[in-house]
């Protein structure tokens, strides 16, 4: 196995499991393609001495790739065994260690970095900006094109779970041809709870009372809980306030400083001019009250969210 193709030490660092799983899968494929045996060890199920046994030279020769997952949960015994192996590395052993976060395992991390381990970063994908970047990269990796509106629609429909978001990207790549637009995304994912909540919130923020109530009643009738609808409405109002207070600058610049995706900045900019500070204050108070009621503070969650919709759409006209 060529060191250039597969390094002796690899550290998969970061909490995003989707990225870590992919990195490890790629390393396993490289190891197997080179004829190496692959051994997987989980930190939470580690038995003392197992690493030493798997790292011992085989009677039949050949190389071994040892994958150790969960260093952030490693026992003292596993950490000691890893440090022992790093202190006397075997030329036929390739070690891959995955560490999500935290200080546990720091001595092992320091030892690996000191020995110039290849580091594969797997940062958390949390904000909508992160998720939008992830979607763009997914389609670029698949050599497909998705419009900015398509990215927005996909993140709104599926974006709470990164693994589900990755699966949705893969489905669209496999099942469609040509450029992926928001209409294509809506065909596959438009009925999801998140997408329904965003449709209601979009109508509310735009002041379309009739559309907002119709969409809300359809959502409730379809079994959608009022809680995520109120949460999305609150999020959109917060974005209006942040963008309204941010001043001038490109969408990309503001997105970076506000923790939003560029398309969210553009969307908020198109809406915020129709709102006064007084109107936003009324809207935020109404949504805060609805949030408390739909989470158990009121007798009728459906009535609470309907009242919030009416109050917020009217607040848009306050000058």
Supply the CATH number for residue 142's domain: 1.10.8
What is the share, in percent, of the chain residues with pLDDT greater than 90? 67
Give 204-224 as a DSSP string. HHTT-HHHHHHHHHHHHHTT-
Residue 214 and residue 182 share a domain: no
Choose between 311 and 89: higher pLDDT: 311
Element (H, E) at 94: strand 93-99
| Tokens matching residue 44 | 């939470």
Q: Which of 189, 208, 224 marks a domain boundary? A: 189
The CATH number of the domain holding residue 18 is: 3.40.50.300
My answer on whether 204 and 181 are in the same domain is no
Whether the pTM exceeds 0.75: the reply is no
206 and 298, same domain (yes or no): yes
CA 18, CA 37: separation in Å to the nearest integer? 24
**Structural domain includes residue 4:** no
Domain range for 270: 193-315
- Examine the domain organization and report whether 48 and 162 are in the same domain: no
CA gap 242, 260 in Å, rounded? 10
Residue 3's pLDDT is what? 41
- When divided into structural domains, the chain yields a total of 3
Helix (H, G, I), strand (E, B) or coil at 89: coil
Buried residues in 145-169 as b, exposed as e (16+ CB within 10 A): ebbeebbbbbbbbbbeebeebbebb
On whether both 99 and 156 belong to a single domain, the answer is: no
> Using one digit for the tens of pLDDT, what is the confidence trace for 23-45?
999 999 999 988 899 999 999 99
Residues 230 and 265 both lie in one domain: yes
Helices (H), the chain: 17-33, 50-55, 76-87, 106-114, 128-141, 148-158, 162-175, 182-189, 193-205, 209-221, 226-246, 251-258, 262-272, 277-292, 301-315
User: What is the per-residue pLDDT across 180-212, written as a single tens digit (0 to 9) for each?
Assistant: 999 999 888 876 656 678 889 999 999 999 999
Residue 102 has pLDDT above 80, yes or no: yes
Dump pLDDT digits (tens) for 277-296. 999 999 999 999 999 999 88
- Going by the DSSP 8-state scheme, the letter that residue 297 receives in this structure is I
pLDDT tens digits, residue range 67-89? 999 999 999 999 999 999 999 98
How would you list the strands of the sheet with 118-121, edge to edge?
37-42, 64-69, 93-99, 9-13, 118-121
Which of 121, 137, 166 is at the close of a domain?
Answer: 121
Q: Is residue 265 part of a domain?
A: yes
What is residue 81's predicted lDDT score, i.e. its pLDDT? 96
pLDDT at 297 over 80: no
Separation between Cα atoms, residue 196 and residue 61, nearest integer Å = 59
In a domain, 3, yes or no: no
Q: Is residue 2 part of a domain?
A: no
Say whether both 225 and 264 belong to one domain.
yes
Answer yes or no: do 81 and 101 share one domain: yes
Phi, psi of 299 (to 5 degrees): -85, -30
């Amino acid at each position: 196995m060529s060191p250039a193709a597969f390094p002796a030490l690899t550290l998969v660092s970061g909490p995003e499991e989707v990225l870590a799983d992919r990195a490890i899968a790629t390393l396993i494929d490289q190891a197997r393609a080179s004829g190496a045996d692959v051994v997987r060890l989980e930190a939470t199920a580690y038995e003392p001495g197992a690493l030493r046994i798997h790292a011992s030279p085989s009677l039949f020769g050949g190389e071994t790739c040892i994958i150790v997952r969960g260093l952030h949960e490693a026992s003292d015994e596993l950490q000691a065994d890893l440090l022992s192996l790093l202190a006397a590395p075997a030329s036929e052993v390739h070690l891959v260690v995955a560490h999500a976060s935290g200080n546990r395992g720091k001595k092992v991390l320091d030892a690996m970095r000191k020995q110039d381990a290849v580091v594969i970063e797997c940062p958390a994908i949390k904000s909508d900006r992160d998720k939008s970047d992830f979607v763009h990269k997914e389609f670029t990796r698949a050599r497909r094109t998705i419009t900015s509106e398509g990215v927005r629609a996909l993140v709104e429909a599926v974006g709470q779970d990164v693994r589900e978001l990755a699966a949705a990207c893969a489905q669209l790549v496999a099942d469609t041809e040509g450029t992926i637009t928001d209409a294509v995304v809506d065909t596959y994912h438009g009925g999801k709870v998140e997408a329904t909540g965003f449709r209601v919130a979009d109508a509310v923020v735009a002041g379309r009372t009739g559309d907002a109530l119709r969409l809300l009643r359809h959502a409730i009738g379809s079994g959608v809980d009022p809680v995520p609808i109120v949460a999305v409405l609150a999020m959109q109002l917060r974005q209006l306030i942040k963008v309204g207070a941010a001043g001038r600058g490109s969408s990309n610049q503001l997105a970076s400083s506000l923790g939003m995706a560029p398309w969210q900045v553009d969307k908020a900019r198109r809406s915020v001019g129709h709102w006064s500070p007084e109107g936003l204050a009324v809207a935020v108070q109404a949504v805060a009250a609805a949030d408390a009621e739909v989470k158990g503070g009121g007798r009728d969650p459906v009535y609470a969210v309907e009242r919030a919709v009416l109050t917020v759409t009217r607040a848009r006209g306050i000058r």
